[in-house]
Amino acid sequence: MSRVFFAFSCWLLGGMLVQAAEPTSLFDGKTFKNWEGDEKTFRIEDGAIVGGQLKEKIPHNVFLASTKEYKNFELRLKFKVIGDDKANAGIQFRSRRIPNHHEMIGYQADLGNGYWGALYDESRRKKLLAGQDKQDEVLKVLKKGEWNDYRIRAEGKHIQLWINGVQSVDYTEPDDAIEQNGFIALQIHSGNPTEAWYKDIVIEELP
């Protein structure tokens, strides 16, 4: 076997293995394995990760973050948000903790009235990047206070979001300076008493 043919065979096999990667569960339903953060604000209940509580106001944003960084991936999970009309939460991705601060910086797949399925830039540009125009469509399929599906796909600069099968965001990052790698995190937003529930968290890493 020639060296060239052998090298080509290894490259082809490697590519096939990468594309055949199986989805991985990030939450075992019982422990905080694969996660780090404030385990007083976040707890595990009925096979779900729960952030916040319904007795007192949430003093500031709190994040439970993955222990591994991800770049290109498709993330699927179930969520429900319990609280009043101001209840808010979200899923960070390609994000990092700000040193000596409770905040994280990076993309957020948002949750809450006026923000369902929108893409927000947390602690960086501090603005909605996409999804504002899809609120009516998402509300048609959203089950408030019940379990819903979130699908987050990040591939290069291309970011897509879906809630219950309805696409809310199809965004391409125009700024070359924005980092396209980082941690995933579950957020409970500051404000009125709120609970954000997350479960069945599965990620598939993309080439």
Q: Is residue 20 part of a domain?
A: no
Q: Is 13 part of any domain?
A: no
For the domain that residue 186 is a member of, what is the CATH number? 2.60.120.560
Domain contains 18? no
If one counts the domains in the chain, the total is 1
- For 3-35, write each residue's pLDDT tens digit: 544 445 555 555 544 454 799 999 999 999 999
Residue 141 belongs to some domain of the structure: yes
Q: Is 109 left (phi over 0), alpha (psi -120 to 50) or beta?
A: beta
Domain span at 177:
25-205
Q: What is the pTM of this model?
A: 0.90
- Residues sharing a CB contact under 8 Å with residue 33, sequence separation 6 or more, in sequence order: none
Residue 122 located in a structural domain:
yes
Whether 12 is in a domain gets the answer no
Instruction: Give the separation between CA 181 and CA 43, rounded to whole angstroms.
Output: 27
What would the pLDDT profile of 48-79 be if each residue is shown by its tens digit?
A: 999 999 999 999 999 999 999 999 999 999 99
